[in-house]
Amino acid sequence: MNRRQFFRTCAAGLGGSSIAMLGFSPQPVLAQVRGFKLARTTETRSTCPYCSVSCGVIMYTLGDNAKNNKPSIIHVEGDPDHPVNRGTLCPKGAGLLDMIHSPNRLKYPEVREAKSKEWRRISWDEAYTRIAKHMKEDRDKNFITKNDKGVTVNRWNTTAMLASSAASNESGYLTVKSARGMGMTAFDTQARI
Amino acid sequence: MTQRILEPGEIQGGAVADAPSIRLPELNSLFSDRAARLRQIAPGHALADYLLFVAAIGDAQQSALNNMQTIPLPVPMMLEQSRAHGMPPLNAIDHARDPAWRTVLRTLLGDLEKKIEGIARDHVRRLAGEPDALYEAQADRVLSAVTAGLDFGYAPLVAAGLQVYWVHQVAALGLPALIPLDVPTVCPACGTRPVASVARSGGAAGGHRYLHCALCATEWNMVRIKCSDCESTTGIHYFGIDGGANAVKAETCDACSGYLKIFYMEKDAQVEPTADDLASTALDLLMADAGKMRSGPNLMLFAADGE
């Protein structure tokens, strides 16, 4: 017998429980339970994506990914344990649930070609390839290897990068490594706005 | 749930106060609130008779607590030692109980006997006639979570006396004597496991989760979405009865397969952990079926199957 069994309340145990010993019947609750089933909610910590304050939020998801039970976010609220916002949110952050379920939400990469009026859906592969091509073209054209005194500087001043305010230390580290590696000098995170 | 929205200027003014890390029980109404809550829930409930019996215990507990005399606290050196080692000052397992607790229990039983009938009353009468040695032996088992030799009929009654004694002593000790322990999963006053969690509403504690001690009703803060037994923060899920009350969920942990209920005061402001835990016994039965192990006791119900 360990502590955990001591705390246990199960159908087999109710017959010899305090309820029965003291002359009360556990039968109604045992019968009742046969008609019940469990529903699962998950609470997930996240960061509000809107501004550089990076408030902590808790997202409530209903459903367990079982058949015909697609999980859906049912509620978003400020995280009371988060040191930045301590459970509060601004009016915009308080409307996060509507943003999540908005029909206008951007869910995949799109491109509007030069001189076109239409946005066209493209694959992630195509999007990355296009971005890489644009970056390489610009970098090849404008890369500065030496300054006017002849000192090697390896600068790429014509493209800038803005990182997310919700990025962790680790992704911040990787951002610096990749951007600086290409010689990029102008980059910042939104958390600094 | 309500969402607090800050107005311009409030952030600079420090509008959001620190939540207290430890909350002491309301001495004047802890047990009477519990009794009132049980009577509120009982009509139409599958365990109505038992809930009303525990409500009668609650009334007797409140009256015993109101009439309690001062009992000596551990000497300052002992308290200092507990503090230095991060141990609870009134540790349920090894605290030398003052014999006065038995007087409290005998008074409580005498009071209770007049308000109940049937087999329960016979039990109360029989316990009232038992010797002190039996009280001590049963109390040791209740406090150290040992079922071998524990009389499940006596246990809630003995526990009722112990609760009154511990609530009284913790209140006498006072909040300044308590500090958060190194082990955040047991009560900082008496080292007992919590009966349930409460996500409070309103004021500085609003939205914060407190674990509610099964013995002395002291509450201590633990961040949300964290296993209150093994402290894992991943694989935490919340199970409720489909179509049932929103205010009660079983917080489960994939890491240790344990669970403890959490009550959301924003969904039901009248929640009282011990009462609502008893009233949601159906959820315990479903969780046991799902193979989850409960991680804290309710001293008003002993139901271990001795596996």
Residue of A121 and B18 predicted with greater confidence: A121
> Are A99 and A107 spatial neighbours (Cβ–Cβ below 8 Å)?
no
pLDDT the model gives residue A4: 57
Q: Running DSSP on this structure, what letter comes out for residue A191?
A: G
Which residue among B119, B240, B285 sits closest to A33, beta carbon to beta carbon? B285
Least confident interval from A167-171, B101-105, B172-176, B227-231: A167-171
Global pTM?
Answer: 0.88
Nearest-angstrom CA–CA distance, A89 and A87: 7
Confidence of residue B191 (pLDDT cuts 50, 70, 90): very high
Does the distance separating the beta carbons of B147 and A6 come in below 8 Å? yes
pLDDT the model gives residue B220: 97
Domains of chain B with CATH codes: 23-177 (3.90.1670.10), 194-294 (no CATH)
Q: Running DSSP on this structure, what letter comes out for residue A64?
A: -
Number of CB pairs, chain A paired with chain B, less than 8 A apart = 190
Measured in angstroms, the CA of A51 and the nearest CA of chain B are apart by 15
B11: pLDDT strictly greater than 50: yes
Tell me, yes or no, if B19 comes closer than 8 A to chain A by beta carbon: yes
CATH of the domain at A52: 3.30.200.210
Taking contacts as CB-CB distances below 8 angstroms, the residues of chain A near B160 are none
Does the distance separating the beta carbons of B304 and A7 come in below 8 Å? yes
Element (H, E) at A39: strand A38-47
Write out chain A's pLDDT in tens, 193 residues. 455 566 888 888 898 899 999 999 999 999 999 999 999 999 999 999 888 788 999 999 988 766 667 889 999 999 999 988 888 898 999 999 999 999 998 999 999 999 999 999 999 999 999 999 999 999 999 999 999 999 999 999 999 998 887 778 898 899 999 999 999 999 888 765 4
Taking contacts as CB-CB distances below 8 angstroms, the residues of chain B near A40 are 237-239
Total structural domains within chain A:
4
Give the pair of three-digit tokens for residue A112: 């509007």
Residue of B16 and A145 predicted with greater confidence: A145
pLDDT the model gives residue A70: 82
A138-177 residues touching B, CB cutoff 8 A: none
* Terminal-to-terminal C-alpha distance of chain B: 41
Measured in angstroms, the CA of B5 and the nearest CA of chain A are apart by 5
B305: pLDDT strictly greater than 70: no
Residues A115 and A67 in one domain: no
Give the pair of three-digit tokens for residue A48: 């509000």
**Nearest CA among B169, B199, B148 for reference residue B74:** B169
Residues whose CB falls within 8 Å of the CB of residue B37, separated by 6 or more in sequence, listed in order = B270, B271, B272, B275, B276
Cα-atom radius of gyration of chain A, to the nearest Å? 28
The residue range of the domain holding A191 is: 143-193
Q: What is the dihedral of CA A106, A110, A113, A116, to 10 degrees?
A: -50
B61-80 residues touching A, CB cutoff 8 A: none
DSSP chain B: ----BPPTTTTTTT-SPPPPSEE---TTTHHHHHHHHHHHH-TT-TTHHHHHHHHHHHHHHHHHHHTPPP-PPPPHHHHHHHHHTT--TT-TTT----THHHHHHHHHHHHHHTT--HHHHHHHHHHHTS-HHHHHHHHHHHHHT--TT--TTTHHHHHHHHHHHHHHHHHHH-GGG----SSTTS-TTT-PPEEEEEE--SSTTTT-EEEEETTT--EEE--SSS-TTT---SSEEEEEETTS-TTEEEEEETTT-EEEEEEETTT-TT--HHHHHHHTHHHHHHHHHTTPEE-S-BTTB------
Confidence of residue B13 (pLDDT cuts 50, 70, 90): low
pLDDT the model gives residue B15: 57
> Are B294 and B259 spatial neighbours (Cβ–Cβ below 8 Å)?
yes
What is the average pLDDT across B65-91?
A: 93
Q: Give Cα separations from A43 to A71, A77, B84, B279 (angstroms).
A: 12, 10, 36, 24
pLDDT the model gives residue B16: 62
**Nearest CA among B294, B287, B199, B279 for reference residue B245:** B279
pLDDT the model gives residue A67: 65
Nearest CA in chain A to B244: A36
Measured in angstroms, the CA of A141 and the nearest CA of chain B are apart by 47
Nearest-angstrom CA–CA distance, A130 and B89: 66
Which residue among B281, B294, B307 sits closest to A7, beta carbon to beta carbon? B294
Nearest-angstrom CA–CA distance, B284 and A13: 11
Does the distance separating the beta carbons of B239 and A40 come in below 8 Å? yes
Question: Is beta strand B22-23 parallel, antiparallel or unpaired with respect to A38-47?
Answer: unpaired
Which residue among B119, B305, B307 sits closest to A23, beta carbon to beta carbon? B119
Nearest-angstrom CA–CA distance, A45 and B207: 14
Residues whose CB falls within 8 Å of the CB of residue B63, separated by 6 or more in sequence, listed in order = B108, B111
Residues A81 and A127 in one domain: no
Q: Running DSSP on this structure, what letter comes out for residue A89?
A: B
B18: pLDDT strictly greater than 70: yes
* φ/ψ of residue A35, rounded to 5: -90, 0
Q: What is the ipTM of this complex?
A: 0.92
Q: How many residues does chain B have?
A: 307
Does the distance separating the beta carbons of A81 and B47 come in below 8 Å? no
Residues A147 and A136 in one domain: no
Which residue among B238, B281, B294 sits closest to A43, beta carbon to beta carbon? B238
Coil, strand or helix at A107 = coil
- B116-146, pLDDT tens digit by residue? 999 999 999 999 999 999 999 999 999 998 8
pLDDT the model gives residue A193: 47
Residues A48 and A94 in one domain: yes
